[in-house]
Amino acid sequence: MKRSLLLLTTLTLIIAASFLSCTAEKPQIEAEPEITTYYFTKTVDYTFNEAIEKVTATLKEQGFGVVSDIDMKAKLHAKLDVDMYNYRILGACHPPSAFNAIELEDKIGLMLPCNVIVQERTPGVVEVSAIDPAAAMSMIDNDGLETIAAEVGEKLRLAIEAL
């Protein structure tokens, strides 16, 4: 009888321990989600066309020139016969930095110039955004580019903030 009682007690403890281990709250080991921001952005109090003029000027103040200007609304209407909101892509180039980057990495031209977009998704609400070159260049294994990307990124951020 003692042996049966001991066996029954042991089984009861094993079952209880199993049940508790299944229902007890286990500590969760989760990595924090990685938040990668690849752009700087600002909503501005300008009309769409004023925003184009203003961002071109603030870019110039930071040493950039606009080397391309793509009107996506017009291009997509012409190619696809679709209507969309105002959306322009300005290719901003900081010549000394572009030259230094090409000297370090001859294929870097695939990622140049730095794109700045001006969009008006809602009538009267204009947003200006610029690529963060540090985020874009992070995929290239070249330490020298990190410094250039950080410097150019700071200039782009200042241009956007100045709007």
DSSP 57-76: HHHHHTT-EEEEEEEHHHHH
Average pLDDT estimate for 135-140 = 88
| pLDDT, position 21 | 46
Average pLDDT estimate for 108-133 = 95
Nearest to 145 by CA among 154, 133, 129: 133
Q: Give me the residues paired with residue 114 across strands.
A: 92
Q: Domain 39-161 class?
A: alpha beta
d(CA 58, CA 93): 13
Checking if the pLDDT of 96 tops 50, the result is yes
pLDDT, tens only, 73-94: 999 999 999 999 999 999 999 9
| pLDDT, position 138 | 87
pLDDT, tens only, 21-63: 444 444 444 444 344 589 999 999 999 999 999 999 999 999 9
Domain spans in the chain, listed from the N-terminal domain onward: 39-161
Contacts of 119 (CB under 8 A, 6+ apart): 85, 86, 87, 88, 126, 127, 129
| pLDDT, position 93 | 97
Checking if the pLDDT of 97 tops 60, the result is yes
